[in-house]
């Protein structure tokens, strides 16, 4: 019998910030994680490519008999989720809609900022769900492509990261949003530095947390959860690098020993 009920995937390690939130909301959940570390980043790839890579991962997870899948990557959610939902019968959940709904409900001045990868921002998926929920809200978007490599280098609070934040935010904060969606799996790791830049009055939204909270009311998620606290990890490149980054990202001290798989 399959021990792992929920499949989770990301372009690499960033999805672990989502995993962390899932574990907080669903302790002892059993999961299979795929990090496509050989093909990261997805952030500036074409929609066709992101759909192709995401489909290969979903098919791999289905072969492991998972009962539901979480797309723990904003770019893959933005570019591929509708295509995946059409193609596969398994329930699939992404990180964009729950965060957009929370932001749209909580903004007081109806001005919402969104930061993410180029692919996520170009897709306008956050804007779409925000205006569905709150038609009078205005969404301001900013792609921040330098953030992912800086965060992967562990540069969470140094001068280089501060410069990159200034570079993207100096004019962006002029939009006076009171709510800001950190629309990329990596960005919650620089929450402190971003909060410092935008000021304490701006509420930051972490999509992984919003997704995890929203899953409590998804019956085809909750009814499929196995709670034997087992986790399996797969990567498409260097397992050791993943383990080191995983401990830094998750800060949960899990004993992660990923297995290498190949999609080519």
What residues are annotated to the active site?
73, 184
The residue from 16, 19, 37, 43 that contacts ligand DGL (CB under 6 A) is: 43
From 22, 29, 32, 40, residue interacting with ligand DGL (rule: CB under 6 A) = 40
Cα Rg, the chain, nearest whole Å: 17
Residue 235, sorted as left (phi over 0), alpha (psi -120 to 50) or beta, turns out to be: beta
Q: Whole-number minimum distance, CB 161 to ligand DGL, in Å? A: 16
Stretch that binds ligand DGL, among 6-14, 84-92, 157-165, 218-226 (CB under 6 A): 6-14
Least separation in angstroms between residue 83's CB and ligand DGL is 16
Is residue 98 involved in binding ligand DGL (CB under 6 A)? no
Nearest of 54, 78, 43, 74 to residue 263 by alpha carbon:
54
Query: Does 41 interact with ligand DGL (rule: CB under 6 A)?
Result: yes
CA distance 148 to 40: 10
- Residue 8 sits in the site that holds ligand DGL (CB under 6 A): no
User: Applying CB under 6 A, does 17 fall inside the site for ligand DGL?
Assistant: no
Nearer to ligand DGL, 31 or 134 (CB): 31
- Helix residue ranges, H only, the chain: 16-25, 47-63, 74-87, 97-106, 118-123, 125-133, 147-152, 159-169, 191-198, 207-214, 219-222, 239-250
The DSSP code sequence of 130-156 is: HHHH-TT-EEEEEE-TTHHHHHHTT-S
Answer whether 210's CB lies under 8 Å from 98's CB. Answer: yes
Q: Note whether 97 and 35 are within 8 A (CB).
A: no
How is 193-241 classified by DSSP, letter by letter?
HHHHHH-TTSEEE-HHHHHHHHGGG-HHHHTT---S--EEEEESS-HHH
**Within a 13 Å sphere around the CA of 251, how many CA atoms are in the beta-carbon half?**
7
- Would you say 183 or 231 has its CB closer to ligand DGL? 183
Q: Does 184 bind ligand DGL (CB under 6 A)?
A: yes
* Chain mean position to CA 213: 14
Q: How many residues bind ligand DGL (CB under 6 A)?
A: 16
Q: Which stretch binds ligand DGL (CB under 6 A): 35-43, 96-104, 157-165, 224-232?
A: 35-43
Instruction: Give me 118's structure tokens.
Output: 């180029």
Smallest gap from Cβ 260 to ligand DGL, in A, equals: 19
94 in contact with ligand DGL (CB under 6 A) = no
Find the shortest distance in angstroms from Cβ 65 to ligand DGL: 25
For the window 56-75, what string marks contact with ligand DGL as x by the rule CB under 6 A? Answer: -----------------xxx
| Contacting ligand DGL within 140-159 (CB under 6 A) | 148
Segment near ligand DGL (CB under 6 A), from 10-18, 161-169, 213-221, 254-262? 10-18
Residue nearest to ligand DGL (CB): 43
Chain residues binding ligand DGL by CB under 6 A are: 10-11, 14, 40-43, 73-75, 117, 120, 148, 184-186
């Amino acid at each position: 019998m399959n021990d792992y009920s929920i499949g989770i995937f990301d372009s690499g390690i960033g999805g672990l910030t989502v995993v962390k939130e899932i574990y907080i909301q669903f302790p002892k959940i059993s999961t299979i994680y795929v990090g496509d570390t050989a093909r990261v980043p997805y952030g500036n790839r074409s929609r066709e490519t992101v759909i192709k890579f995401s489909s290969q991962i979903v098919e791999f997870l289905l072969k492991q008999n998972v009962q539901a899948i979480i797309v723990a990557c904003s770019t893959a959610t933005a570019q591929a989720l509708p295509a995946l939902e059409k193609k596969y019968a398994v329930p699939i959940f992404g990180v964009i809609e729950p965060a957009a709904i929370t932001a749209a409900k909580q903004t007081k001045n109806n001005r919402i900022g969104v930061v993410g990868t180029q692919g996520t921002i170009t897709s306008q998926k956050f804007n779409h769900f925000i205006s569905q929920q709150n038609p009078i809200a205005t969404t301001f978007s900013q792609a921040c492509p330098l953030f992912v490599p800086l965060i992967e280098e562990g540069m969470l609070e140094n001068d280089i990261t501060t410069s990159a934040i200034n570079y993207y935010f100096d004019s962006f904060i002029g939009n006076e949003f009171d709510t800001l969606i950190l629309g990329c799996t990596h960005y919650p790791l620089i929450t402190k530095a971003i909060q410092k830049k935008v000021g304490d009055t701006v509420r930051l939204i972490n999509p992984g947390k919003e997704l995890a909270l929203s899953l409590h009311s998804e019956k085809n998620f909750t009814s499929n959860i196995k709670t034997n606290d087992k986790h399996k990890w797969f990567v498409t490149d260097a397992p050791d690098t993943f383990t080191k980054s995983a401990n830094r990202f998750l800060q949960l001290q899990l004993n992660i020993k990923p297995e290498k798989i190949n999609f080519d």
